Structure 1
Amino acid sequence: MAVGIWTVAEKSDYISLLSSRIYAVSAYILIVAGIIVMITGVLGCCATFKEQKGLLRMYFVLLLFIFLLEVLAGVLAYVYYQQLNAELKENLRETMVQKYQQKNEEHITKAVDKLQQEFKCCGSNSSSDWSSSAWVRSGEANGRLVPDSCCKTMTVECGKRDHPSNIYKVEGGCITKLENFILDHLKIIGAVGVGIACVQIIGMIFTCCLYRSLKAEPY
């Protein structure tokens, strides 16, 4: 649950730059599974202390449900891991040049500025991407060639000068930085999902053993 909340809360800006929702869905699945785990833990304690087969059956079903959720999160993370590069190449540049500083796209603007400052990059593939920006071409940029967030030292209208001494000129642009960042987090989500799923298997085995050891409930 902690990994899911961390992904959604701290990395939500970057999620808005992705056309697919698989990354976010994987995180939400972990959150839901975490909540159910806490509820299941309480139920498991009650079932064990009271030695009630009915509660144990419910506990087993919840463990199975958590197992399936965790496996699903791991599978989604793996699938998205395989297709992330193609998605970013196809959509990231278009998102940046068409939606940056546009009406009702404030979340995209915030995400792009954070991306360029945090990863010290400029543009999807290179700083020259910004020459096609709807914002730059409209004249609303006030003479800026790139957003101020491209600057090594960010000040108002520093983007008017796109010399390498002033802005980040990173080989591969922001697309490489963002891809590596998300891939690393997909590994974490996948590992947590599959890892906890394995723990649930052990829990289900112990539950079955305990269930068989209890006397039949009186009717």
Structure 2
Amino acid sequence: MGCFGFLKTMMVVFNGIIFLAGAAVLGVGIWVKVDSGSILSFLGKIEGAPEELSQVLNVGYLLIAVGALLLVIGFLGCCGAVKESKCMLLLFFIIVLVVFIAEVAGAVVILVFRPLADELFVKFGTAAVKNIKKDYGSNPDVTGLWNTTMSTLKCCGFYNSSDFVGSPYYKMHSNHYPPQCCPGTGNLCNETLADSSTTITGCFPKIVQLIDENTVVIVGVALGIAVLEICAMAVSLILFCRIKSRRA
């Protein structure tokens, strides 16, 4: 197998993986839009939530768009290499280049508007705490969602256990917090036990902590994707030039 054949094989394998990933992302996007009971639908019903949150609720459409784009890129890359189609390879190169430029622009926008994102999280936190105090213990959907979230992330409330003070659950259970706030103590979880516990971190601080702890991994993955995109553009351009020279 010569260099040209090796590049063709790598192009097919790489874009086959992209095609499958696109199908998975597209499926998740469709599921998010179809599932009326998803967390995104619930977030949109939180009273007092910031208006900017409506943009987050469109993540289903974003996933569908990204999945469809990955399908197109994978298809063009595979077929362009197999059929040695200059048109497909050139179109593949252009699309990947546009995606790469968009990612760089997006990274710059995130860095520039980071303070606005922090402000949005503060607004959402206020709305989330109000939602807990109003509906936790009386609304099955709200209660079930928070219980699942807290059990999964091993956290308590949005900021901490005090978020539950005044909630229907707190009043109905003689001023006790949910058991997730004091693991190992059973259903009796009062202020004293919560204060003495070492695992009552709020869900928001826990998420921030997870992101901070995995920053290196996130940056590494982002750089890896950027390198793969550059390599894909380089390979497609080389194949395009080789095919053009062979047919000249």
Q: TM-score range by the shorter chain?
A: 0.5 to 0.7
Query: What is the count of residue pairs matched by the alignment?
Result: 209
Whether 1:53 and 2:86 are equivalent positions in the alignment is yes
Counterpart Cα distance in 2 of 1:24 and 1:158:
36
Number of the residue aligned with 1:128:
162
TM, length-normalised to structure 2: 0.56
| Mapped partners of 2:121, 2:192: distance in 1 | 26
- Aligned-pair distance for 1:67? 2.5
Q: Give me the TM-score of the superposition, normalised by structure 1.
A: 0.62
TM-superposed CA distance for 1:153, in Å, is 2.6
Superposed CA offset, 1:52-72 (max 9, x none): 322222222232244245446
Query: Following the alignment from structure 2 to structure 1, what is the Cα–Cα distance between the partners of residues 82 and 153?
Result: 52
Larger relative contact order, structure 1 or 2 (CA cutoff 8 Å, min sep 6): 1
Which segment drifts farther, 197-206 or 71-80? 71-80
C-alpha RMSD of the superposition: 4.8
- Give yes or no for contact 2:128–2:158 (8 Å, CA) kept in 1: no
Q: Does the 8 Å CA contact 2:182/2:200 hold for their aligned counterparts?
A: no
Contact 1:63-1:204 at 8 Å conserved across structures = yes
Q: For structure 1, which runs of at least 5 residues remain unmatched after alignment? A: none
8 Å Cα contact 1:56/1:211 also seen in 2: yes
Distance 1:94 1:61, change over 3 A: same
Secondary structure of the residue aligned to 1:195 is helix
- Give yes or no for the alignment of 1:158 onto 2:188: yes
Q: Distance in 1 between matches of 2:174 and 2:188?
A: 10
Kept in 2, the 8 Å contact 1:150–1:167? The answer is no
Paired AA for residue 148 in structure 1: P
% same residue:
22
**What is the distance in 2 between the residues matched to 1:26 and 1:80?**
19
Q: Is the 8 A contact 2:182 2:193 kept in 1?
A: no
Residue 136 of structure 2 is aligned with which of 101, 116, 131? 101
Aligned to 1:92: 125
* 1:146 counterpart = 2:177: yes
Question: Is structure 2 residue 230 aligned with structure 1 residue 201?
Answer: yes
Aligned residues of 1:53 and 1:211 also touching (Cα < 8 A): yes
